[in-house]
Structure 1
């Protein structure tokens, strides 16, 4: 049988030709090059034993972002209805803006503006565009007036008059309430994009009814037509009257959900988490003229709630 030719360095193992060894030297050189490249990339970080100043310099290149919510505004505007105008807090059937929870100057109330800006700031850097009797449909126009001042913060308390109607069937539909509030925010953002918005929840009107219904003077004044959807026939505890009051309260709850949801979509907006709605007003916090609107004491409580939420590190839940 003819023998296979053997090349140099080749030998048989068990009758078969031995395989040639691969040229490992080239592969080793390639691997070494990759290791050097990886090491070079690793060198972009701080080497062991490096100067601590290196880490400080690196950190200084990326400062932490400034929080969007400014807890120390230097100018404040207010929009809303009779509550923000201090209606019936000083005299019968009249506004008393000096005791307003938002922008008032009364030392006993210590309004939000007074707490944040001081007396001089309230006089020169605060504006109150709320109107007694206003409903949410008026809110876009009020915020348009506010935007002209470019305030750091605007407070919103609106919705009680949308629920306070002659009859429960006349209350503002929730969809309309939402549309008006969304339009208000769009206008404000177009005209004053950096203005922060603090939104107070609508008070629990049923709570106000339950607190004032035992006062003889309050009952007589309520007969004049104040918030008849809730306060009308205040002593009637029949099924129809109970259902009517429950319907009004449910509508207020729905309004507050709208305020919360729309506000949550804006990084410069804070809803109070339902704090005003949850506050248990007593006779001391209600006007002795109508047993429905906040008194000076009540205005002060609203100011406390607002201040606590505006300066808080985190938005209320």
Structure 2
């Protein structure tokens, strides 16, 4: 191998390492000295979306680009927006790629250990994105699992403020992507098969399958709203703002054509921030 190729590979490795800095990390971000009365810790809970999966150069978690807790320069995250007025704030990302609502309580326990004052929750995409529609988490079960996680927070951090975010409209992803051959090829490798398998098919059974996934996600959003209302005044639901966001393919990565890229994470942060009530 020539020296030129060795140098090129070394540069590529360095770029990947830089892009994925913070991948899967739960370490607190560097912070200034907290001021009395300011929130001290934000903890992000959820799945691969909140983990920033696929928002760097490769398909791995990239917490620096997370819409919630990211501290990188490419995404004006909720955390970075909060830091303007709360310079002592630290952030932890406890989101787990592939997580479903069943695993949310364990993440909530991590938030309690973090002594979180602010918590963001985005969960449900993987409950719908199963191998088949019959494997999707039942709506009632989903609600029980979300309630269990919120109960952990309420017991362990009763004064924490919680932002529950609606699930992005995955059906829209199929709508805007099923005519893009690169997206269809990526999806055929097992990306959210309950919704995206046979992406170009118009067979009645396939159309009905997509409709069932769409309805289930809408059902999950309704339960997230109700669970937050039951939690009390310290929980705020985004009112469906994230689900209503009309994203396009330029906001998803060009590797799996599913997860938000840095631009998509930034837009998600903007929508969630406006709905959070945390400004000022």
TM value normalised by structure 2:
0.82
Q: Are 1:283 and 2:249 matched, yes or no?
A: yes
Where does structure 1 lack aligned partners over 5 or more consecutive residues?
A: 1-71
Larger radius of gyration: 1
2:127 to 159, 162, 183: 162
CA distance in 1, matches of 2:77, 2:99: 21
Within 5 Å, give how 1:41-190 maps onto structure 2.
73-118=39-84, 121=87, 125-190=90-155
Query: Alpha-carbon deviations, 1:44-82, whole Å to 9, x = none?
Result: xxxxxxxxxxxxxxxxxxxxxxxxxxxx74431100000
- The answer to whether the Cα contact below 8 Å between 2:164 and 2:238 also exists between their aligned partners in 1 is yes
Q: Write the mapping of 1:222-233 to structure 2, written as runs, cut at 5 A.
A: 222-233=187-198
Deviations 1:19-53 (A, max 9, x none): xxxxxxxxxxxxxxxxxxxxxxxxxxxxxxxxxxx
Contact 1:212 1:292 in 2 (8 A): no
Shift of 1:189: 1.0
Q: Does 1:292 find its partner at 2:261?
A: no
What does residue 242 of structure 1 align with? 207
Query: Does residue 206 in structure 1 map to residue 171 in structure 2?
Result: yes
Match of 2:32 in 1: none
What's the CA shift string for 1:149-169, capped at 9, x where partnerless?
A: 222210000000000001011
- What SS class does the counterpart of residue 276 from structure 1 fall into? helix
Q: Alignment partner of 1:148: what SS?
A: helix
In 2: Cα distance, 1:99 partner to 1:214 partner = 28
Structure 2 residue matching 1:294: 3-state secondary structure:
coil
The total of aligned residue pairs comes to 241
Give the C-alpha shift of residue 118 in structure 1.
4.6
Q: Distance in 1 between matches of 2:143 and 2:166?
A: 14
The question of whether the paired residues in 1 share the 8 Å contact of 2:166 and 2:238 is answered with yes
* Residues 258-297 of structure 1, C-alpha deviations (whole Å, 9 max, x = no match): 0001101211000000011111110111111111111111
1:75–1:117 Cα contact (<8 Å) kept: no
Query: Does the CA contact (< 8 Å) of 1:88 and 1:95 recur in 2?
Result: yes
